[in-house]
């Protein structure tokens, strides 16, 4: 019989692997959508809808599947979730019409709901003092978006975009099998049968939860949106081919996913508010610079006219994109540290609600990016929008009493094994 420690680590490992695979599938259209856009002569708005369609289903299902995790356990819910997307994933390779991609994208989008299932399943196996680090490791599965940036463009160039969903379907089948054999269930982790759906949803009356939803709609919703958008952005603004553009976009995606574990550890050590506070300020400054459109200013003086270029060159832009990715990686962990501190016994429902808000941010933002781009022709309007969302989050934080949470955290903290 495996020890509790062995079960902890095995569940954490397989949850992270499963979530990584699901996230890679969830953002797949960020790559294969580009040749589809060319083949079907789609507008930027239509491309935004195509890329965001899987995000919608994954977002909506986060709440009910998170509640099911509380009721039935993470192991069966996560397994059947992954199994359910294999056939629709394969069928994408056979689609030829825009509406077919949209319908299949909705089915494949179920993969995005794996977050609320896996985060609740993971949190139950760890103590309050160590849950931030454990959830951070699990959340590093966001790097699945980077996996798609690295793998999918090469497949598109060498084998055609149709082979991407086929290869992903085969990989998901293998992971489903491994997940079933290397994960465990604990009846003590389930909520009591007497707890009804309405009882689980009473948490919606807590105004703090809506604030955390706002934070997560930026740090996770923004992450998903830029994961979907940046390959196309580098191609249209800087003229790169798809492989180079995807690699540059991965400079944002990969660190943001991997760094989440460090963000969880920092949140355990210094408190969720302290980490989130700096995330917001760093994001605000970086996004302000990134939102500057490329412009030519003409200054009239008494002596002569002076022409001045205003804008951000590619390397400064990429560096700031990297900084934002790191900040949001910390923020994704710190927001869920808030939740594990305050809603430990209702984590499935709460993670579903906050995950739903984050996912809806990831769904609506790419569509808004496309609408703004079609309406203005200015690519940097995407970052203007994100700057505005960040400013709202920071103002909300400034007028709240979150510092109390960090004071309580410091008073109750003690030296512990980070995965104990």
8 A C-beta contact, residue 289 and residue 380: no
pLDDT for 63 = 83
Average pLDDT for 2-8? 82
Rounded to an integer, what distance in angstroms lies between the CA atom of residue 247 and that of residue 371? 25
Instruction: Give yes or no for residue 301 having a pLDDT over 70.
Output: yes
The residue with greater pLDDT, 28 or 304, is 28
Roughly what angle, to the nearest 10 degrees, separates helices 114-123 and 4-26? 160
Look at the chain and report how many structural domains it folds into. Answer: 1
Write the DSSP assignment of 53-72 as a string of letters. HHHHHHHHTHHHHHHHHHHH
In a domain, 179, yes or no: yes
Segments forming the whole domain that contains residue 223: 4-299+306-412
Residues 388-414 have pLDDT tens digits of 999 988 888 877 655 555 555 555 544
Residues with Cβ within 8 Å of 207's Cβ and at least 6 positions away in sequence, in order, are none
In a domain, 419, yes or no: no
Average pLDDT for 338-360? 79
pLDDT for 377 = 87
pLDDT for 400 = 65
Rounded to an integer, what distance in angstroms lies between the CA atom of residue 159 and that of residue 2? 43
pLDDT for 414 = 46
- pLDDT mean across residues, the chain: 85
Residues 352-394 have pLDDT tens digits of 788 888 888 888 998 899 899 889 988 889 999 999 999 988 8
Q: What angle do CA 96, 108, 198 make, to 5 degrees?
A: 140
Instruction: Give yes or no for residue 186 having a pLDDT over 90.
Output: no
Residue 132 maps to which CATH number? 1.20.1250.20
Average pLDDT for 344-351? 73
Rounded to an integer, what distance in angstroms lies between the CA atom of residue 121 and that of residue 75? 8
Residues 30-82 have pLDDT tens digits of 899 999 999 999 998 899 899 889 988 988 898 888 888 888 888 999 999 99
In a domain, 114, yes or no: yes
Closest CA to 107 of 90, 83, 88: 88
Average pLDDT for 158-185? 94
In a domain, 158, yes or no: yes
8 A C-beta contact, residue 228 and residue 146: no
Instruction: Give yes or no for residue 136 having a pLDDT over 50.
Output: yes
In a domain, 376, yes or no: yes
Q: Strand, helix or coil at 306?
A: strand
Residues 72-96 have pLDDT tens digits of 888 999 999 999 999 999 999 999 9
Helix H or strand E segment including 113: none
Q: Quick one: pLDDT band at residue 4, thresholds 50, 70, 90?
A: confident
pLDDT above 90 coverage of the chain, percent: 38
List Cα–Cα distances, 28 to 59, 62, 245, 275, in angstroms: 16, 19, 15, 30
In a domain, 420, yes or no: no
pLDDT for 416 = 45
pLDDT for 80 = 95
Rounded to an integer, what distance in angstroms lies between the CA atom of residue 47 and that of residue 25? 17
The residue with greater pLDDT, 285 or 263, is 285
Residues 194-215 have pLDDT tens digits of 566 676 677 777 778 888 888 9
Instruction: Give yes or no for residue 8 having a pLDDT over 60.
Output: yes
pLDDT above 70 coverage of the chain, percent: 90
In a domain, 134, yes or no: yes
Average pLDDT for 319-346? 86
């Amino acid at each position: 019989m495996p020890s509790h420690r062995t079960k902890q680590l095995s569940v954490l490992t397989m949850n992270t692997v499963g979530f990584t695979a699901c996230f890679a599938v969830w953002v797949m259209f960020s790559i294969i959508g580009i040749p589809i856009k060319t083949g079907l002569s789609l507008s930027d708005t239509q491309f935004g809808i195509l890329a965001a369609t899987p995000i919608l289903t994954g977002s909506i299902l986060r709440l009910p599947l998170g509640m099911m995790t509380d009721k039935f356990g993470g192991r069966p819910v996560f397994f059947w979730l992954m199994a359910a997307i294999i056939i629709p994933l394969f069928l994408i390779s056979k689609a030829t019409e825009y509406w077919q991609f949209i319908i299949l994208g909705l089915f494949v989008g179920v993969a995005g709901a794996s977050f609320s299932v896996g985060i609740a399943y993971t949190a139950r196996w760890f103590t309050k003092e160590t849950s931030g680090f454990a959830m951070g490791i699990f959340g590093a599965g966001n790097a699945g978006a980077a996996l798609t940036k690295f793998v999918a463009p090469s497949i598109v160039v060498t084998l055609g975009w149709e082979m991407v969903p086929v290869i992903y379907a085969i990989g998901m089948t293998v992971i489903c099998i491994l997940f079933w054999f290397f994960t465990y269930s604990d009846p003590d982790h389930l909520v009591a049968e007497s707890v009804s759906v309405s009882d689980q949803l009473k948490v919606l009356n807590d105004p703090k939860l809506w604030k955390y939803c706002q934070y997560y709609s930026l740090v996770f919703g923004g992450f998903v949106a830029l994961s979907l958008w940046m390959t196309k952005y580098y191609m249209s603004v800087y003229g790169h081919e798809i492989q180079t553009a995807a690699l540059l976009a991965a400079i944002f995606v990969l660190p943001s996913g991997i760094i989440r574990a460090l963000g969880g550890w920092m949140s355990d050590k210094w408190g969720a508010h302290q980490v989130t506070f700096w995330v917001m300020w760093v994001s605000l400054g970086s996004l302000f610079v990134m939102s500057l459109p490329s412009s030519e200013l003409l200054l009239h003086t008494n002596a002569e006219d002076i022409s001045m270029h205003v804008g951000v060159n590619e390397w400064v832009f990429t560096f700031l994109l990297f900084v934002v990715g790191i900040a949001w990686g910390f923020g994704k962990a710190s927001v869920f540290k808030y939740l594990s501190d305050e809603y430990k016994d209702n984590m499935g429902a709460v993670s579903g609600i906050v995950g739903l808000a984050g996912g809806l941010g990831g769904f609506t933002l790419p569509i808004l990016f496309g609408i703004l781009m079609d309406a203005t022709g200015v690519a940097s309007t995407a970052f203007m929008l994100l700057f505005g969302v960040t400013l709202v989050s920071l103002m909300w934080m400034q007028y709240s009493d979150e510092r109390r949470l960090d004071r309580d955290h410091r008073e109750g903290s003690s030296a512990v094994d980070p995965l104990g």
